[in-house]
Amino acid sequence: RRVHGALMNIPDTVSNDLPPGDDLPASPEDDATDGKPHPLHRRLKSFVKRAGRTTDGQARPFAELGPLFLVPYTPERLDLTAAFGGRVGPTVLEIGFGMGEATAHIATVLPETNFLCCEVHEPGVGALLKRIGEQSISNIRICAHDAVDVIDHMLQTGTLAGVHVFFPDPWHKKRHNKRRLIQPEFVNKLA
């Protein structure tokens, strides 16, 4: 087969090395033997993790500021007051902040508001950490993980004062509708 101008030797069939009786489940209901969905039935992601180069200027803040401003993803409820170092205030979830320029600006304009920011692009996380250090911003925490998982597992219902989503759906083709972040189910989770 020819893929992007290169000749690839890809077999038309895939061998099945599974022992007899270990076939894939006939339906999603049949796959919950241990309570977990089958790996082939996992949720589609609304993003593609871009392979970008993290510069030294972006990597240094990970070591210096990461322990203070990065919130590790854990599938358990997050204590927002503790995550923000005892700061009490309204919390805004920011999804996909890119390189963090708008996030840093908004956080300085609204110093009484806490911003929990989700981004999966490592150079962007590093860039925002760098801005936090340069501008002495204290009301931002970053979770470098999928925002849908953060909402589902880390945030309690009713804890957010707002949500910022900038440029959420780069999936412009109709066949990619299923990948778009802004879907009725997701909006209902936020409401």
Taking residue 186's Cβ as centre, other Cβ atoms within 10 Å add up to: 18
169 noted as active-site residue: yes
The SS3 call for residue 107 is helix
Yes or no: say if 58 and 130 are a contact pair by the CB < 8 Å rule.
Answer: yes
Catalytic residue chosen out of the listed positions 12, 34, 146, 169: 169
User: Helices 122-135 and 56-69: crossing angle, nearest 10°?
Assistant: 70
Q: Which helix (H) or strand (E) holds 189?
A: helix 184-190
What the block records as the tokens of 153 is 């597992």
Q: At residue 93, what are phi and psi to the nearest 5 degrees?
A: -90, 125
Distance CA 58, CA 118 (A): 17
* Cβ burial 92-110 (10 Å sphere, 16+ → b, else e): bbbbbbebbeebbebbeee
Give the up-direction half-sphere exposure of residue 80: CA atoms within 13 A in the CB hemisphere: 23
Active-site positions read: 169
